[in-house]
Structure 1
Amino acid sequence: MWSSVLPLLVAVSPALLLQLPDYTSTQEEGLWQDYKHGRHDAELPDKKHFCSWKCLLFTLQWPGAFCQSLDEETLCTIPPSINNWTIHGLWPLKAWRCCKCWPMFESDVQELDAELKDHWPSLLRTQPSFHFWRQEWEKHGVCAACVEGMNSPLRYFQICLKLRGQFDIQRLLEDAGITPSCQRPYKLVEVHQVLAPHLGDKHEIQCVTDEKDREVWFQVKIPLSHNLTVGCDHDVDDGNPAPPRNSSHGHPCPPQVPFYYFPIDHQDPQRPCG
């Protein structure tokens, strides 16, 4: 169970903590220390806590529909080794005043490089995978870093990879006979029934609409509480992270309209089903 794994993840040697560069000013160092330990900033007029968020969204995306989510589909590429759901991000919701003084370098996640390339690749021709990871850290990871188990780039990405192993969506779907197809659409209720026992009732199945007006399964958003347990009350419309650059918003798959779960086509990722 995840609850039994979490303490092992949190108990990481302090030597793994990110060391800030020497050029960090005293003021920035103080801000980082306050943020790292979730300390209250008495100088703020509204006196809010640094770690004000309560929920996170762990988001997985399906490469077979990623191209359809882009404004410019030609930007899309799917590496030959990618044949499974990939990580899009782990996003604290309603996070504010995130520390901007915490850079990320390739050496911070060097030991995870192979795993990240397998499970968290960039699917944009113009964006190397490390740039994708760094973007996610700087936008969302630093907001999660007030939690001890995620208070360095290494720890944050370790947690994301553990969550990816915990939520093996493709295996759950295959066991239920739900496989990628260009011919067979699926109903929201049948997919939800398969995933809900493992992802919680509040998970969201997202679609995009392709050029033939077909609803195409794009993402799954899994709400997690502050301690990474499944399920959390949150307002999806308030605090949701912005979509990646060159990407259109996914939307909840409509309950009354069947959607397609396109196969991955590495040769022609833009048109897996014509």
Structure 2
Amino acid sequence: MWCSVLPLLVGLAPAVLFLLQLPDHTDAQGVNCEDYKYGRQDSELHDKKHPCSWKCLLFTLQWPAGFCQFLNNESLCRIPENVNNWTIHGLWPLRGRSCCDCWPMFHSDVQELEAELTEYWPSLLKIKSSFHFWKDEWEKHGACAACVEGLNSPLRYFQISLKLRRQFDIHKVLEAAGVTPSCERAYKVPDVRQVLAPHLGDKHEIQCVKDHKDRQVWFQVKIPLSHNLTLGCDHHGNIDGELESRSYPGRTPPPGHPCPPEDPFYYLPIDHEQPQRPCD
């Protein structure tokens, strides 16, 4: 029964879609196709976690020059020539580790979006194609979001993600405020948050990694969203670290940590020739 049942969600009646979004607090294992199809919430699911028990998503943007800093192996990182801006890391429902793996994704699902995805959601790893990056994100996170009507197919999931990327054009916002990439100038979290808060809400998180000089380097921004993609959803903790770390060979712990508010951090420039050593 682990098959192509999730696409049936598109045709579900509003009442059933409502049931699919009711919270559940049971275990995260063993949800089968029938549960997704009919949104069961009775005693049959006592030991199962409902696929739409999550309340918040994180839309995460990464800065390519920062991404390259956390890889242990310098030869792994690449920044395509057409990439000179913030890119999408993912759109992640905040939930447990289990996710329906019964809806595979194929190249034809996103073929019409490929040019835009290649620019705004590229793989920054030499050993992973952009399509495999997208496929991983759909199977690990997108399928969990598919209980929401606007996200209930690979095409819709990636369309919404690209729309959010256009909405949250933080490069433009930062540049207008004089916050630009630099090898010499460092920034403070409160100052950058003040610039971003009117556009991302007060609950966004600025994340850093350490570079080879042991400096805090800006890596990504996490923007919490509710089911209906409005800003400011309350959430506790981080996205599942195990799922996040799987995307990054050459690095064992999950990437990124909140930039310490009292320490300066660097917003490094992009260097396509030396992506991990842009200031050398």
TM-score normalised by structure 2 residue count = 0.83
Deviations 1:194-238 (A, max 9, x none): 001111111000000111111100000000111110111111247
Distance 1:254 1:94 in 2: 26
Query: Which residue identity is paired with 2:248?
Result: R
SS at 2:44's partner residue?
coil
SS at 1:43's partner residue?
helix
Kindly tell me: are residues 127 and 48 of structure 1, through their superposed partners in 2, closer, same or farther at Cα, counting changes over 3 Å? closer
Q: Does 1:81 align with 2:70?
A: no
Residue aligning to 2:119: 118
Residue aligning to 1:262: 268
Kindly tell me: are residues 165 and 39 of structure 1, through their superposed partners in 2, closer, same or farther at Cα, counting changes over 3 Å? farther
Query: Which residue identity is paired with 1:219?
Result: Q
Query: Which residue identity is paired with 1:245?
Result: Y
Residue aligning to 2:233: 232
Deviations 1:114-159 (A, max 9, x none): 0000000000000000000000000000000111110100000001
Kindly tell me: are residues 216 and 253 of structure 1, through their superposed partners in 2, closer, same or farther at Cα, counting changes over 3 Å? same
Residue aligning to 1:57: 58
Alignment: residue pair count:
247
Kindly tell me: are residues 37 and 258 of structure 1, through their superposed partners in 2, closer, same or farther at Cα, counting changes over 3 Å? farther
Kindly tell me: are residues 85 and 161 of structure 1, through their superposed partners in 2, closer, same or farther at Cα, counting changes over 3 Å? same
Distance 1:263 1:41 in 2: 54
Task: Among all aligned residue pairs of Structure 1 and Structure 2, give the percentage whose two residues are the same amino acid.
Answer: 69
Distance 2:59 2:98 in 1: 21
Kindly tell me: are residues 181 and 148 of structure 1, through their superposed partners in 2, closer, same or farther at Cα, counting changes over 3 Å? same
Distance 1:196 1:165 in 2: 17
Aligned ranges 1:29-68 → 2 under 5 Å: 31-32=32-33, 34-35=35-36, 38-40=39-41, 42-46=43-47, 48-68=49-69
Residue aligning to 1:99: 100
Query: Which residue identity is paired with 1:103?
Result: P
SS at 1:221's partner residue?
strand
Correspondence for 1:250 among 237, 256, 273 = 256
C-alpha displacement at 1:107, in angstroms?
0.3
Kindly tell me: are residues 97 and 267 of structure 1, through their superposed partners in 2, closer, same or farther at Cα, counting changes over 3 Å? closer
Distance 2:135 2:45 in 1: 29
Query: Which residue identity is paired with 1:207?
Result: C
Distance 2:240 2:132 in 1: 23
SS at 2:186's partner residue?
coil
Gaps of 5+ in 1: 1-12, 15-29
Deviations 1:82-112 (A, max 9, x none): 0000000000012464221100000000000
Distance 2:42 2:248 in 1: 33
Residue aligning to 2:23: none
Kindly tell me: are residues 173 and 35 of structure 1, through their superposed partners in 2, closer, same or farther at Cα, counting changes over 3 Å? same
Deviations 1:43-102 (A, max 9, x none): 222464321000111000000111112121210000000000000000001246422110
Distance 1:98 1:194 in 2: 36
Q: Which moved more, 1:103-112 or 1:248-257?
A: 248-257
Given that 2:97 and 2:240 are in contact with CA atoms closer than 8 Å, whether structure 1 keeps it comes out as: no
Gaps of 5+ in 2: 1-9, 12-30
C-alpha displacement at 1:36, in angstroms?
5.6
Residue aligning to 1:203: 204
Distance 1:113 1:33 in 2: 32
Kindly tell me: are residues 170 and 46 of structure 1, through their superposed partners in 2, closer, same or farther at Cα, counting changes over 3 Å? same
Q: Does 1:184 align with 2:149?
A: no
Distance 1:238 1:136 in 2: 13
Q: Which moved more, 1:142-151 or 1:66-75?
A: 66-75
Aligned ranges 1:209-228 → 2 under 5 Å: 209-228=210-229
SS at 1:242's partner residue?
helix
TM-score normalised by structure 1 residue count = 0.85
